[in-house]
Chain A
Amino acid sequence: MGLTLDFLALSPYAGELARGLVTTVVLTVVTTLSGLMLAIVVAYLKVHAATWVRRILGGYVELTRNTPFIVQLFFIFFGLPAFGIKIDAITAAFLAMTLNLAAYTAEILRAGIEATGRGQLEAARTLGMSKLQSYRHVVLVPAFARIYPALTSQCIIVMLGSAVVSQISVFDLTFAANFIQSRNFRSFEAYLLVTLVYLLLAVGMRQLFLLVGRRLFAFRQGGLA
């Protein structure tokens, strides 16, 4: 083979790796939260808002789901300045990831919402709740419980997809790997290490979602629901 592995060659770059890891984790945590919040709003408006609002949101969801994430990111970072909207790389990354996750999640969530029993809505209505109150207090939590496995996967996809933001020079984990191998030419070691870190992040996220879900949706443990 003639290949000698030298992982010690990475050790001088521990600082860069840590910085990249922190960026990836922060990007993931923040966009997961902001993406979910946006998705909750979009899913509601896609059902209850005026026709023109629904059309615009439908356009946004379809556009996002049918174009590559890297193109969306480039459009926001390189394209928008043409309209005088200039944002720095990290903001563009947050924005692109949030919009991306929200579009997918809104679609997933819609399926969960549509599975709400008619009886639930009628009960809410006869108790005097408005559509918004009923969405917030009656529909949303069981809908999330139904789609939770799909939602977990989607959030992990966004975390993994965040690697793309290195292309607009955001110093994330992938950027750190690129940086290191360009200095010490140990590309195999650098990418192998980063691969393992992504793997650990994904597995960790799945476990975390599982734990949170068990707490959040404890009501299901009684049986049906």
Chain B
Amino acid sequence: MTLVCVKDLHKSFGDLEVLKGVDLDVAPGEVVAIIGRSGSGKSTLLRCLNQLEQHDGGDIEIAGQRLDADAMAPSDLSRNVGMVFQSFNLFPHKTVGENVMLAPVVVRGVDKLEAARVAREVLDKVGMLEKFDAYPAQLSGGQQQRVAIARALAMKPKVLLCDEVTSALDPELVGEVLRVLEALAEEGMTLILVTHEMKFAHDVADRVVFMHHGRIHEQGDPKTLFNHPSTPELKQFISAVL
């Protein structure tokens, strides 16, 4: 059974072909780490999965729903897929609690009491419950990112996409965010992460996908992939980043 099914995905920006036929199946509960050089297409792949970029060719199906941004309302697109960004993107004029409650209330029509209950639950999960009434500007980067994760979780996505979620953080704050993701993985959340944290990919991911020039160049379980890379490109990449 697959939750995310990507077939022959193509995407170009003008003359630049960024994705040149990507196939990827992700099972429910699986944690997939996508690694590769900048420009290899990994972020674009992620952004196609929630239609922030519309693909030019191929098919994406998530939880049996075929993605087509032209034919779908944003509320449909968000039904199964949550996203956490590199730059947090919390809404600055809303408190932590309001950030988390906004989409359930506005998009799903959940009543405020229920939304607040869910917000407390997910904020507790990321260890940010005591900041319920704080504004984003009063939080550290790591705290903002944990709230952003809670905000995505409040919509109860089937799969959570994480786009370099620790890249904008000071080194000492990376750990708190990774621990939250690790806890989510243990709970059985399906995660697809674009990451530069090789240790995290090695320790937490079920599968590591190496992208190179717009294609999946090599993939497999992390131990094998990191210890015995079979392609010269991956060997070179690993020796460059480790």
**Chain A residues near B (Cβ < 8 Å):** 117, 119-120, 122-130, 133, 137-138, 141-142, 145, 217-225
Contact of A127 among B76, B95, B134, B155 (CB under 8 A): B155
Instruction: Please state if A225 and B92 are interface contacts (CB–CB under 8 Å).
Output: yes
Task: Please give me the 3 A-B residue pairs with the lowest Cβ-Cβ distance, nearest first.
Answer: A128-B78, A222-B137, A127-B103
Closest B residue to A126 by CB, please name it.
Answer: B83
**Chain B residues near A (Cβ < 8 Å):** 50, 52, 73-79, 81-83, 85, 87, 89-95, 102-103, 106-108, 134-138, 148, 151-152, 155
Instruction: Please state if A222 and B106 are interface contacts (CB–CB under 8 Å).
Output: no
Contact of B137 among A117, A137, A141, A220 (CB under 8 A): A220
Contact of A222 among B136, B152, B155 (CB under 8 A): B136
Question: Given the known A-B contacts A222-B138, A225-B136, A225-B137, are A120 and B91 also in contact in the complex, defined by CB atoms under 8 Å?
Answer: yes
Instruction: Please state if B107 and A127 are interface contacts (CB–CB under 8 Å).
Output: yes
On chain B, the residues within 8 Å of A133 by CB distance are 106-107
On chain A, the residues within 8 Å of B83 by CB distance are 122-123, 126
Instruction: Please state if A128 and B137 are interface contacts (CB–CB under 8 Å).
Output: no
Contact of A141 among B76, B93, B108 (CB under 8 A): B93
Question: Given the known A-B contacts A122-B85, A222-B136, A225-B137, are A127 and B93 also in contact in the complex, defined by CB atoms under 8 Å?
Answer: no
User: Could you pull out 28 A-B pairs where Cβ atoms are within 8 angstroms?
Assistant: A117-B89, A119-B85, A122-B83, A123-B85, A123-B91, A125-B52, A126-B77, A127-B155, A128-B76, A128-B155, A129-B74, A129-B106, A129-B107, A130-B74, A133-B107, A137-B106, A141-B93, A142-B91, A142-B92, A145-B93, A218-B135, A219-B94, A219-B95, A221-B137, A222-B134, A223-B138, A225-B92, A225-B135
Q: In whole Å, how far is B29's beta carbon from the nearest beta carbon of chain A?
A: 21
Q: In whole Å, how far is B169's beta carbon from the nearest beta carbon of chain A?
A: 15
On chain B, the residues within 8 Å of A137 by CB distance are 91, 102, 106
Q: In whole Å, how far is A210's beta carbon from the nearest beta carbon of chain B?
A: 18
